[in-house]
Amino acid sequence: MNLLISALEKTNFASAISKLLHLHTRSQITCLGCNSIVVTDETSTFLPLPLPKKSQTIKEILLEDFINDYCLEQPFDRLYHCHSCTNYTQAKQKSMISSPLLSVLIIQLKRFPFDDTSQKINTFVRYKLQYKNLISTNDVYQLCAVSSHRRSLAGGHYIAFAKNYQTKQ
C-alpha cells in the first residue's frame, strides 16, 4: 500500500486528486494567560463539522449554521496547556478553511457528542441544492450526494442519495 501511495505522489494524477479533494484548514489557539498564539495547518479530504450547541435543543438546523459555527472563535471547554507560559490556562480556538477552495467539498456532520453517552443527535438538517458564498464570496457548490447513517453509534445502516446527472433528478 505504501508503494502505491508513493507512486501516486510522484504522478500528476495525485496532484489532480489533491486539487479536487484535499481541503486545507487552519486552527488558531490563543492562550488567554499570555496571549501567545499557536497555528496548526491541516489537510483533509473532508470537513468534519460538529453540530452547533443549539442544535440539541431545536428540531431543525441549516447546513449554513454548521459552517458559521465552525468558523466562530470559541472558548476551550477545558484548561489548555500553553507551551509558551507553561501554565494550564483558559484559551480560545478559531478554525477556518484556507485557500484554495476545493472543487468538491465533502462535509461530515458529526452527530455524536463527546461525552459518556453514545446517543446520536437526530436534529433534522435542512440543506439547499445549491450554495453560493458558503465559505467565501465567490464559491458555488451544488449538492450531488448525501450519505445518511440510520440508527446509533453501536450499529446501523448507511443510505446514499445521489443526483443522476442524466435525468437531473
pTM over 0.95: no
Query: Torsions phi, psi of 94, nearest 5?
Result: -130, 130
Helix ranges (DSSP H) in the chain: 2-9, 12-21, 63-71
Q: What CATH number is associated with residue 110?
A: 3.90.70.10
Domain membership of residue 56 as a residue range: 2-162
Residue 167 lies in a domain: no
Residue 120 lies in a domain: yes
For the chain, the domain total comes to 1
Residue 168 lies in a domain: no
Query: Torsions phi, psi of 6, nearest 5?
Result: -60, -40
Bridge partner residues of 142 (DSSP): 130
Residue 129 lies in a domain: yes
Digit-by-digit pLDDT tens for the chain (169 residues) are 466 556 555 555 556 667 677 888 899 999 999 999 999 999 888 888 887 766 667 788 888 888 888 888 999 889 999 999 999 999 999 998 877 677 778 888 887 766 666 677 778 888 888 777 777 767 788 888 888 888 877 788 889 988 888 887 7
